[in-house]
Structure 1
């Protein structure tokens, strides 16, 4: 694939093609300058950029993406002379859809009268990188979901998050970047780097500021964070707490597959393990869930994490398929 065609495909997937470039891309496809192998090679590099290792699922998704790409090309080669504006609208949706299929994600269009939302869903055991139309980058952790409107960046820069994500926001003082989470919590930024953790089955929502400034608020309070500060919101009692942390990078160790625990209960650790390794965890007695752990694990294969947990506590585990059971060690 020539550099020009590669750039056209990249622009197609980031929804930045001009009408002239759309015509060039269609002609390139007609002239068989874009093949399935070239398409796959191009997206293998995208997996590397996203920090992912291509898998059987990735290969299947590349095949789906190629079929979708061909379908849109064939359809719009026929309609381009009479319906250029219609092609542009369809290409905007197709571009995002193909990119997310390649990254092994799910994209859904939710129709609500005239309003549509683009939904990025990351399954258990997966992570993904997303670049938004304004140039802001989002790194999504396992079992996370990001929603935003197709006109993101035009009137506002609002996204909805369930799960965990690291944001690198492009600065635009006239159009703040807003993250909405569960319990009506809002994080507002102009240009900054921060991490938000807001899983639906966690009792805490936390925001950690790495660089810049963010404002965290709901209907009752508003707090401004400086770098190396963290804010926590307890969803049960509605209380906020703000603290300063020594190593702000601990908040994003999950991006490099590291664990940092600070008096975390095994019950909470189990939720993390379930998301990261796509397993289910149970306990033979409820008091096991209250055992606390502190420390950092670098070599965090699942077996390594499980073995370390049982080494430092009077526990053992058994595994059956993807189900793990913790129990007390037998004397």
Structure 2
């Protein structure tokens, strides 16, 4: 296909005026790696002429000037001179690296919608296809801007999120991918995906989903409502039936659900959600497990609850650390 013809098809696609026959031609053309490079170049060109985000330069300048006016915000650094021939080689290498990283960043920004939550916060978003997602704390999600070109709606997750996927009339599949090579394929359903530290968990409350691990290379797993699937670092599945699968979503209401969960594992959850380290020097205490559904909006409320239930004491040796110990006059 001629480059001008490809550009014309892409322009019409970006404008939303492409016919089904033209969409078929475009998909065939983009199967060629040469045309894929042209696609990224033209996408960047089109985005520059049709910006989707308009920066608030006045607000940005006010924020920057406020930081510059703070005491100690500026430092004077004496220049270090090096021979021109030697330094130029490093400048060229640095320029190439910056160009490569900038190109990747721009491409990623143009191809995906990005959503993020910090420590201690959750966020509910409506995706362009109408699906709804609630992100747990310290999580990232990106969603494809042009699903028609790849034949599916792709979501890439780091962290934890609850999905309510909208079924489309053209049956375009919805796929969630994680960093540990797990793929969750759905058409219309409610489910949760957790993916941290090279392990994942999937909980299904309604509909049907199919799991595939690219690590293990095993056969796809069809998950039924009420099932909980834990995926280890090797990509192996462990399926269990939960009598109350909705409790796995309780973090949306500032609650914690523990199912024979050890204090050490609870500490991992506090690190993930709030950026707080739970220090438990006593290994026997760290192995103590509890069950239940408890309200807690922050790490200290969780530790207070644990202290009350198990008759423990805690202290804050550092703003980002909580030390949990047995009471001296009490033995577990």
Cα pair distance change 1:193/1:115, threshold 3 Å: same
Match of 1:309 among 286, 306, 310: 306
The residue number in structure 2 matching 1:224 is: 222
Q: Is the CA contact (8 Å cut-off) linking 2:312 and 2:326 kept in structure 1?
A: yes
4+ residue runs of structure 1 moved beyond 6 angstroms?
16-19
Deviation string, structure 1 residues 181-211 (Cα, Å, up to 9, x no partner): 13211100011111011112xx641111111
* Pairing 1:244–2:241 present: yes
The residue number in structure 2 matching 1:322 is: 320
Q: Is the CA contact (8 Å cut-off) linking 1:129 and 1:137 kept in structure 2?
A: yes
TM (norm. structure 1) is: 0.63
The residue number in structure 2 matching 1:90 is: 51
How far 1:145 sits from its partner (Å)? 1.1
Deviation string, structure 1 residues 23-45 (Cα, Å, up to 9, x no partner): xxxxxxxxxxxxxxxxxxxxxxx
Cα pair distance change 1:301/1:180, threshold 3 Å: closer
Q: Is the CA contact (8 Å cut-off) linking 2:120 and 2:298 kept in structure 1?
A: no
SS state at 2:193 partner:
strand
The residue number in structure 2 matching 1:165 is: 161
Aligned partners of 2:123 and 2:212: how far apart in 1?
A: 27
SS state at 1:312 partner:
helix
Cα pair distance change 1:254/1:151, threshold 3 Å: same
* Pairing 1:139–2:100 present: no
The residue number in structure 2 matching 1:150 is: 145
The residue number in structure 1 matching 2:108 is: 116
Cα pair distance change 1:298/1:185, threshold 3 Å: same
How far 1:126 sits from its partner (Å)? 1.2
Aligned partners of 2:268 and 2:160: how far apart in 1?
A: 13
Bigger-Rg structure (1/2): 2
How far 1:285 sits from its partner (Å)? 3.2
Aligned partners of 1:18 and 1:152: how far apart in 2?
A: 13
Q: Is the CA contact (8 Å cut-off) linking 2:202 and 2:229 kept in structure 1?
A: yes
Aligned partners of 1:220 and 1:305: how far apart in 2?
A: 38
How far 1:112 sits from its partner (Å)? 2.7
Aligned partners of 1:323 and 1:111: how far apart in 2?
A: 39
Aligned partners of 2:55 and 2:171: how far apart in 1?
A: 26
TM (norm. structure 2) is: 0.63
The residue number in structure 1 matching 2:207 is: 212
**Number of residue equivalences:** 237
How far 1:291 sits from its partner (Å)? 1.5
Matches within 5 A, 1:1-331: 89-91=50-52, 94=53, 111-112=103-104, 115-117=107-109, 118=112, 119-155=114-150, 156-172=152-168, 174-200=171-197, 204-218=199-213, 219-235=217-233, 238-298=235-295, 300=297, 302-313=299-310, 315-319=312-316, 320-331=318-329
Cα pair distance change 1:177/1:88, threshold 3 Å: farther
Deviation string, structure 1 residues 220-264 (Cα, Å, up to 9, x no partner): 1311112111111122x5431112211121111110111110111
The residue number in structure 2 matching 1:62 is: none
Structure 2 portions without partners, runs of 5+: 1-13, 18-44, 57-100
Deviation string, structure 1 residues 6-59 (Cα, Å, up to 9, x no partner): xxxxxxxxxx9999xxxxxxxxxxxxxxxxxxxxxxxxxxxxxxxxxxxxxxxx
SS state at 1:249 partner:
helix
Cα pair distance change 1:114/1:280, threshold 3 Å: closer
Cα pair distance change 1:85/1:197, threshold 3 Å: closer
Aligned partners of 2:210 and 2:102: how far apart in 1?
A: 29
How far 1:277 sits from its partner (Å)? 3.5
Cα pair distance change 1:96/1:298, threshold 3 Å: farther
